[in-house]
């Protein structure tokens, strides 16, 4: 899937989880950092590509990206597995522990969960692509849905643009329509808790 699809999928997953498990109270600062962490989590598995946005935005990032890609086994290998997700989650947890003293009133536990929801959405979305994902590394089988590879999506082709992306938009519209009062109440509470 393309970056924009992964971004929308991450936000969609966060919305689904958040609306089914409301957080009370939630400070505005925590909500903002959670959204940012969720979007970062949604693209993190692709750090195994030297052309990933993360590497493109760093000085000499292409060198780091190529090195990390080789160390992680290449695209859609370690970072697209449950083992990779656990390792990344552990690293992000300790990074948040390290920065907690300077993060003020931001609840880093919620930030970690938002990041992991984004990361999980990435793996799920890539399971719908022709390549699939090696979810159970070291077992060298790439899983995909549906199981018949010919029925899966090719990244950046018409099915992604005309079915998957609009489908995610429709899910978000449905979430807003069915949870409108709940969303308004959440926004009121977030706005008054800064």
Partners of 153 in the beta sheet? 129
- Per-residue pLDDT of 75-96, as tens digits, reads 778 899 999 999 999 999 999 9
Nearest-angstrom CA–CA distance, 147 and 24 = 40
Tell me, rounded to whole angstroms, the distance of Cα 110 from its chain centroid: 14
Token digits of residue 172:
């978000």
**Can you give the pLDDT at residue 56?**
72
The residue range of the domain holding 84 is 3-189
193 pLDDT more than 70 = no
Per-residue CA distances from 58 to 63, 143, 147, 162 (Å): 10, 32, 38, 33
**Can you give the pLDDT at residue 194?**
57
Q: Is residue 154 part of a domain?
A: yes
Q: Is residue 194 part of a domain?
A: no
Q: What is the mean pLDDT of the chain?
A: 89
Q: Is residue 142 part of a domain?
A: yes
40 pLDDT more than 70 = yes
**65: exposed, middle or buried (C-beta count within 10 Å: 0-12, 13-18, 19+)?**
buried
Nearest-angstrom CA–CA distance, 81 and 6 = 16
Q: Is residue 42 part of a domain?
A: yes
Q: Is residue 41 part of a domain?
A: yes
38 pLDDT more than 80 = yes
Q: Is residue 70 part of a domain?
A: yes
Q: Is residue 140 part of a domain?
A: yes
- Per-residue pLDDT of 106-165, as tens digits, reads 999 999 999 999 999 999 999 999 999 999 998 989 999 999 999 999 999 999 999 999
**Structural domain count of the chain:** 1
Q: Is residue 168 part of a domain?
A: yes
In this structure, how many other beta carbons lie within 10 angstroms of the beta carbon of residue 99?
12
């Amino acid at each position: 899937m393309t970056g924009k699809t992964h971004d929308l999928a991450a936000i969609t997953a966060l919305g689904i989880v958040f609306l089914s498990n409301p957080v009370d109270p939630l400070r505005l600062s925590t909500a903002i950092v959670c959204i940012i962490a969720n979007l970062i989590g949604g693209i993190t598995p692709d750090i195994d590509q030297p052309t990933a946005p993360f590497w493109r935005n760093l000085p000499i990032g292409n060198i780091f990206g190529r090195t990390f890609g080789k160390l992680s086994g290449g695209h859609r290998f370690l970072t697209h597995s449950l083992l990779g997700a656990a390792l990344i989650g552990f690293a992000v947890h300790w990074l948040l522990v390290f920065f907690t003293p300077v993060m003020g009133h931001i609840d880093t536990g919620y930030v970690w969960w938002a990041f992991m929801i984004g990361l999980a959405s990435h793996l799920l979305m890539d399971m719908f692509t022709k390549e699939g994902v090696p979810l159970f590394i070291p077992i060298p089988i790439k899983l995909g849905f549906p199981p018949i590879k010919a029925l899966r999506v090719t990244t950046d082709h018409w099915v992604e643009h005309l079915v998957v992306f609009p489908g995610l938009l429709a899910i978000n519209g449905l979430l807003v329509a069915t949870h409108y009062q709940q969303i308004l109440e959440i926004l009121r509470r977030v706005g008054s808790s800064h």
